[in-house]
């Protein structure tokens, strides 16, 4: 229970929605530790967890007005923001891993460890991948580049492109499906 002199987290969040920087600092002091612990548990990397917490507090500052006291506590709202972004990061890691597994040797050749035949095969595969990427729409190619080569999450891409997150997710999904189809067709 909070004393009348110490506002509850929900009150602080409502003050943050009104642009109160002092309230934001107080909310940060209260929530940063628990959010960092959760982020570290989910992501397993301290630096990435710190980045995620910063991203969540940026969202809290920008979207505090969307908080609804009827739907839950300020802490649960902040945890939801963190969880959604952590899941995006984990999925992005997995997709990058899949892409590197499928095309990694073609993207980062190591000529010292390959035979001439392996280099020729890698070059062939690299040409196939680049040709397949060329058959995607500009929007699909751009989303894949941002996700897989720039390491951005879908939420970050949506923010950068000023597009809805659902649009970015759908575009990335369609791009990967199209890329798989093209490469499978070209391989058969």
Q: pLDDT digit string (tens) for 175-186?
A: 888 878 887 765
> Which tens digit of pLDDT belongs to each residue from 86-140?
888 888 777 766 666 665 554 444 445 556 665 566 566 667 777 778 888 889 8
Residue 184 lies in a domain: yes
CA angle (56 as vertex; 14, 139 as ends), nearest 5: 120
d(CA 15, CA 69) in angstroms, rounded, equals: 13
Q: Do 116 and 182 share a domain, yes or no?
A: yes
Domain that holds residue 183: 109-188
Query: What are the tens digits of pLDDT across the range 119-130?
Result: 566 566 667 777
In a domain, 104, yes or no: no
Closest CA to 147 of 113, 97, 105: 97
Of 31, 73, 91, the C-alpha closest to 56 is: 31
Cα separation, 80 vs 67, in Å, equals 11
* CATH number for the domain harbouring residue 161: 1.10.10.10
CATH number of the domain where residue 29 is located:
1.10.1740.10
Q: Say whether both 80 and 1 belong to one domain.
A: yes
33 domain-assigned: yes
Please tell me whether residues 2 and 81 are part of one structural domain: yes
How many distinct structural domains can be found in the chain? 2
Is the pTM higher than 0.75? no
Which domain-ending residue is among 36, 57, 87? Answer: 87
Closest by CA to 126, choosing from 183, 175, 176, 174, is 183
Please, which pLDDT band fits residue 43 given cuts at 50, 70 and 90?
confident
């Amino acid at each position: 229970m909070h004393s009348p002199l110490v506002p509850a987290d929900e009150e602080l969040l409502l003050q943050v929605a009104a642009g109160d920087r002092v309230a934001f600092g107080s909310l940060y002091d209260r929530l940063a530790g628990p959010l960092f612990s959760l982020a570290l548990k989910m992501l397993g990397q301290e630096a990435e967890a710190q980045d995620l917490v910063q991203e969540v507090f940026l969202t809290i500052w920008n979207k505090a007005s969307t908080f609804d006291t009827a739907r839950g506590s300020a802490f649960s709202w902040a945890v939801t923001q963190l969880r959604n972004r952590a899941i995006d990061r984990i999925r992005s890691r997995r997709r990058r891993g899949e892409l590197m597994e499928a095309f990694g040797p073609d993207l980062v050749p190591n000529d010292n460890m390959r035979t001439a035949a392996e280099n020729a095969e890698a070059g062939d595969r690299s040409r196939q991948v680049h040709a397949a990427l060329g058959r995607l729409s500009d929007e699909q190619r751009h989303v894949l580049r941002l996700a897989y080569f720039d390491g951005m999450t879908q939420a970050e891409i949506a923010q950068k492109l000023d597009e809805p997150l659902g649009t970015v997710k759908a575009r990335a999904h369609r791009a990967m499906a199209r890329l798989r189809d093209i490469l499978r067709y070209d391989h058969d």
